Amino acid sequence: PNVREYAAEALGRLGAKEFAPQIAKLLGYPDSGVRSSAATALGRLGTKEHAPQIAKLLNDPEILVRIRASTVLHQLDQPGPEASSGKITGFLNDPDLSVRGSAATALGDLGAKKFAPKIANLLGDPSSYVRCSATSALGQLNIKEYIPQITKLLNDPDSYVRMSAEKALKHLGQPAPAP
């Protein structure tokens, strides 16, 4: 485990704004997990002064770091995330399941309602991780037209997908039917 990654996450969760300059230095760290955690921490801390450094991560060689940077910039109400959400949708078709799932999650975090149909296409993904991510994102986007599709996932063979569907339906004001 990378101590820097966990330290950045912890400082972000603790709201330790006094450590923001040190966390910002980790945005250039060689390990992608550290860069992603540093961006997340700075987003949680709400340090808009570091937005230009975070924006540089939109060109990071690691897809997951680019997705995280876009989400953090949105949290900081900085320009650019709306345009980058269009780029993120391209990752919904990535062969790597972690990229597809992370893209769905990021679009949900960004409130990118216009991409809900593309996220909904992932509800039938072979990966349970991706189905969970898509279900959560659609619940977060609060678009009721997907209730029937999400309801079908209450019968998914994977328990995490079923739990994600229950949670999304609850968020949409449609409690899951009793078993």
Average pLDDT over residues 106-121: 90
Determine what percent of the chain is predicted with pLDDT higher than 90.
61
Interval 20-61: pLDDT, tens? 999 999 999 999 999 999 999 999 999 889 988 988 898 899
Amino acid at 117: P
The pLDDT, as a whole number, for residue 63 is 85
Instruction: Quote the mean pLDDT of the chain.
Output: 89
Q: How confident is the model at residue 102 (pLDDT cuts 50, 70, 90)?
A: confident
By the 8 A CB rule, do 101 and 141 touch? no
The pLDDT, as a whole number, for residue 81 is 45
55-77 as b/e: b if 16+ CB within 10 A: bebbebeebbbbbbbbbbbbbbe
Q: Which two tokens stand for residue 158?
A: 């994977």
| Element at 133 (helix H, strand E) | helix 128-141
The pLDDT, as a whole number, for residue 25 is 96
By the 8 A CB rule, do 23 and 42 touch? yes
3-state DSSP percent of the chain in helix, strand and coil, to 5: 80, 0, 20
Which tops the pLDDT comparison, 160 or 76?
160
Interval 66-99: pLDDT, tens? 888 877 877 777 655 455 566 778 889 888 898 8
By the 8 A CB rule, do 71 and 35 touch? no
Average pLDDT over residues 148-166: 96
Instruction: Examine the pLDDT at 120 and tell me if it is beyond 90.
Output: yes
Predicted model pTM: 0.71
Closest C-alpha among 89, 98, 26 to residue 62 = 98
The pLDDT, as a whole number, for residue 82 is 53
Q: Given the structure tokens 């250039």, which residue do they identify?
A: 28
